[in-house]
Chain A
Amino acid sequence: MTEIPHYRSALETPAIEFDHASFRVNGRALLQDLTLSVKQGETLVLLGRSGSGKTTTLKLINRLLLPTAGEVRVNGIRTSEWDSIRLRRSIGYVIQDGGLFPHFTVERNIALVPQIENWPRARVKARVRELLAIVGLNEDLALRYPSQLSGGQRQRIGVARALAADPPILILDEAFGALDPITRSEMQKEFRALQQRMRKAVIFVTHDLREALFLADRIALMEEGHLIVDLAAAEFSRSPDPLVRAYMEAFSGLPNPEKIEMGS
C-alpha cells in the first residue's frame, strides 16, 4: 500500500499550472495575473477574442515566451528551469492550417520529432503509418507534399505530427480555424474521440463558442489579457457573467428553436 500516496501525489501535480503569471512587452500587458491549471486527461478550452491573450498563454507553456511575473509550471517544474528543447519535444503543438514544412513530404513532417530524437528508422516508419491511420488518412499520402493536400488533410497531418512522439501535453491554437464547416465539425468529433482514448492534458484555443462547448471539460474565458471565468463546460452556459452572456447571445442568433424560446 505504500505506493498509493506516491501515486496520488503524482496524479495531483497538474500537467500545466499558471501561478499568477503575467507577460508584458514594451510596457503593454498581454497577460495579467493568470492562475489556471490543467490536469492530465483534461481538456481546457481557452475562449476569447483575438488579442485576448490566448496565444500568449500557449507560448508561455512551451517556453516560446517566459512570464515576466509569476510562474508557469509544466509537470511541476517551472518552464524557466526546463531545458527548452526537452520541454517543447514533450508538448505537441498544432496550429491553424497545420503549420507543415512545405519542403518535407507528409512522412517527414510527421516523423520530425521522432527523427530528431534518433528513433530507429523502422520504428519511425511504423509510427508514421500508425499515426496516418489514427487521423483517418490513407497511407499513400505519405509521400505527398503539403501543397498537394486539401486543407482538411493538412490539418490532420498537423495533428498527427503533434502526436508523433506521444507527448503527454497537447496545445492547439485555432487548430481547426481554417477549415470549412463540414470538415471542421468532422475534425472536432474525431478529436474528441481521440482525446477520450489518449487522455492527454489538452489546451485548445478558439474563439468559437460552439467548438468550445463541444470539446471542453472546462472553459476559460479571456478578455484583454485577463481570465474572466474558468468553469466546467456544463456550467458555462448558465454563468451570469456579462461577458459569458454576450458570448452566448452572439452564438444564439442562428436558427435553433430551443435557444430562441429560451431567449424570449
Chain B
Amino acid sequence: MNFLQFMMANRQQVLDLTLEHITLAGGATLLAALVGIPLGILITRVPQLSKLVLGGANIIQTIPSLALFGFLIPAPWIGARASRLAILALVLYALLPLIRNTYAGIRSVDPGVVEAGRAMGLTDRQLLFQVELPLASGVIVAGVRIATVLSIGLATIAAAIGAGGLGEFIFRGLAMVNNNVILAGAVPAALLALFADFLLGRLERRLGSLHLKS
C-alpha cells in the first residue's frame, strides 16, 4: 500500500486530526496574539520593561519543546487536559515573534510622522490606533505569520502528551516503523503550514504597501 492509498483508506481520521491540529495551532496563535501584541505595545510605552519582556520571551524559546510540555503537566487546571496544556505551551512559544515584531514595527514608524501627529493634538490613544498601529501593521502581521507557521510545526509534538493533532500519525508511524503513517501526519502538517504562510504573506504585502501605491 503506498502513501496515497493509505491516505484514502484513512481519510476520515486524516481529516479529524487535521481539524484538531488547526484548532490547536490556530487557538494558540490567536491567544498568543491577544497577549503578545498588547505586550509589544506596552514595551514601546514603558521601555524599561522591554529588556525583561523580550528577554523572558527569548528564554522560553530556548526551552526544548518536549521538555516544556513536560514541565507544564503539574500545572493546576491547565495540566488536567492535554489540549489545554498543548495550547499553553504553543502560546508561550508563539509569544516571542509577536512581541518582537509588534515592538519593532511600532519603533520603525517614522518619528517625524509620530511627532507631527502629537504636535497636531492627537491623544496617545489616537496616535496609537490611527498612526502607529496602521503603519506597523505589515511588520506585526509578519510576526503573526511566523508565529502561525511555528505553531503548526510545533503542534505535531503535542501528540506526545496526548493532545492529538497530526502528530498522532507521526508518533504512531515512528513506533510502527511505517513511513506511510509518518507521512500521513507530516505531509498535511507541512501543507497546512505552507498554506497559512501563503495567506498571511499576501495580507502582509497588502498592509505593507498600503501607503506605497503609486
Whether B118 lies near A88 (C-beta < 8 A) is: yes
B119 within 8 A of A: yes
Chain A nearest CB, measured from B131 CB (Å): 6
Chain B nearest CB, measured from A79 CB (Å): 13
Whether A116 lies near B126 (C-beta < 8 A) is: yes
Chain A nearest CB, measured from B127 CB (Å): 11
Contacts A99-B113, A103-B135 hold; do A93 and B213 have CB atoms under 8 A apart?
Answer: no
Q: Which single member of A95, A102, A113 contacts B211 (CB below 8 Å)? A: A102
A64 within 8 A of B: yes
Whether B119 lies near A147 (C-beta < 8 A) is: no
Q: Which chain A residues lie closer than 8 Å to B120 at the CB level?
A: 88-89, 93, 112-113, 161
B116 within 8 A of A: yes
Closest to A94 in B: B116
| Residues of chain B in range 199-214 having any CB-CB distance to chain A below 8 Å | 210-214
Whether A147 lies near B214 (C-beta < 8 A) is: yes
Q: How far is A232 from B198 in the complex, measured between Cα atoms in Å?
A: 65
Q: What 1/0 mask marks residues of chain A from 88 to 121 whose CB sits below 8 Å from any chain B CB?
A: 1101010100011111000000001100100000
Q: Which single member of B115, B119, B126, B211 contacts A103 (CB below 8 Å)? A: B211
Counting chain A CB atoms within 10 Å of each CB, the highest count among B117, B118, B126 belongs to: B118
Whether A116 lies near B121 (C-beta < 8 A) is: yes
Contacts A88-B120, A89-B121 hold; do A147 and B212 have CB atoms under 8 A apart?
Answer: yes
Q: Which chain B residues lie closer than 8 Å to A113 at the CB level?
A: 120-121
Chain B nearest CB, measured from A142 CB (Å): 15
B134 within 8 A of A: yes
- Helix, strand, loop or mixed for chain A's interface? helix
B122 within 8 A of A: yes
A148 within 8 A of B: yes
Closest to B110 in A: A102
Contacts A147-B211, A148-B214 hold; do A64 and B115 have CB atoms under 8 A apart?
Answer: yes
Q: How far is A93 from B126 in the complex, measured between Cα atoms in Å?
A: 18
B62 within 8 A of A: no
Q: How far is A146 from B213 in the complex, measured between Cα atoms in Å?
A: 9
Q: Which chain B residues lie closer than 8 Å to A88 at the CB level?
A: 118-121
Q: Which single member of A62, A99, A148 contacts B213 (CB below 8 Å)? A: A148
A197 within 8 A of B: no
Q: How far is A95 from B117 in the complex, measured between Cα atoms in Å?
A: 11
Whether B214 lies near A62 (C-beta < 8 A) is: no
B76 within 8 A of A: no
Chain A nearest CB, measured from B207 CB (Å): 9
Closest to B131 in A: A101
Whether B213 lies near A147 (C-beta < 8 A) is: yes
Q: Which chain A residues lie closer than 8 Å to B47 at the CB level?
A: none
Counting chain B CB atoms within 10 Å of each CB, the highest count among A64, A101, A161 belongs to: A101
B64 within 8 A of A: no
The contact sample of 17 A-B pairs, CB cut-off 8 A, is: A64-B118, A88-B118, A101-B113, A101-B117, A103-B134, A103-B135, A103-B211, A112-B122, A113-B121, A116-B121, A116-B122, A116-B126, A145-B214, A147-B212, A147-B213, A147-B214, A148-B214
User: Contact residues of B with A, CB < 8 Å?
Assistant: 110, 112-113, 115-123, 126, 130-131, 134-135, 210-214
Nearest first, the 3 closest Cβ-Cβ pairs linking A and B are: A99-B116, A88-B121, A89-B121
